[in-house]
Amino acid sequence: MSPKEPVLVLLAAALAGGALWAIAFAANFRAAPAICVVVGLAVGLSWRLAARVVPPPEPLLTPAPYEPREEGLLPLTSLESRLSWGATDPDRFRSRVRPELVTLAADLLRTRRGIDLDTEPDLARSILGEPLWQLITRTPTRSPNRAELARLVDALERI
């Protein structure tokens, strides 16, 4: 704090109090000088405090906002669990695993090859291969064993 600072605050307070008294006098209102002095001091101190407040420095790098991702370990674990249960239970394979594989195949065909499974079935069949095509178009009567499932997954990866 510099030695001139209290003088500046008092000068600002006196100017603010005098201005308040002049405004009140011009409006035919008799203001008490004590009130004008108190208001003037409040204005002067507020001015000084506002001058001392320094905004925090801007960060050099702003971190990217955190966005939780839908993909990752949890869906992979869920799919692994479905595959393991589907290998032993044909009903579970038909109701849980097969719909996932059909959706995955349709999405891969659409995004990687630009082929719609419903409107271009012949082209989709040639890309998918016969075992994967049979799985998609016909309801299986039994669950595929591990080797068959591995071949189906390989066919999906080749899309």
pLDDT tens by residue, 18-45:
787 788 888 887 777 777 777 777 877 7
Is 91 in the same domain as 134? Answer: yes
Residue 69 lies in a domain: no
Give residue 17's domain range: 5-52
Residue 67 lies in a domain: no
Is 27 in the same domain as 89? Answer: no
Is 115 in the same domain as 81? Answer: yes
Alpha carbons 35 and 31: distance in angstroms, whole number = 7
Residue 13, CB half-sphere, CA atoms under 13 Å: how many?
18
**125: exposed, middle or buried (C-beta count within 10 Å: 0-12, 13-18, 19+)?**
middle
Residue 63 lies in a domain: no
CB atoms inside a 10 Å sphere around CB 57: 6
Query: Residue 150 corresponds to which tokens in the numbers above?
Result: 């591995």
Structure confidence at residue 104 (pLDDT): 86
Is 136 in the same domain as 98? Answer: yes
Is 43 in the same domain as 115? Answer: no
Is 86 in the same domain as 23? Answer: no
Is 80 in the same domain as 154? Answer: yes
Is 154 in the same domain as 83? Answer: yes
Residue 57 lies in a domain: no
- 104-142 pLDDT tens trace: 888 889 998 999 888 888 999 999 999 889 988 888 888
Domain count, the chain: 2
pLDDT band at 72 (very low <50, low <70, confident <90, very high): very low
Alpha carbons 95 and 135: distance in angstroms, whole number = 13
Is 118 in the same domain as 151? Answer: yes
Is 34 in the same domain as 82? Answer: no
Residue 29 lies in a domain: yes
Is 140 in the same domain as 88? Answer: yes
Is 139 in the same domain as 97? Answer: yes
Structure confidence at residue 157 (pLDDT): 84
Residue 68 lies in a domain: no
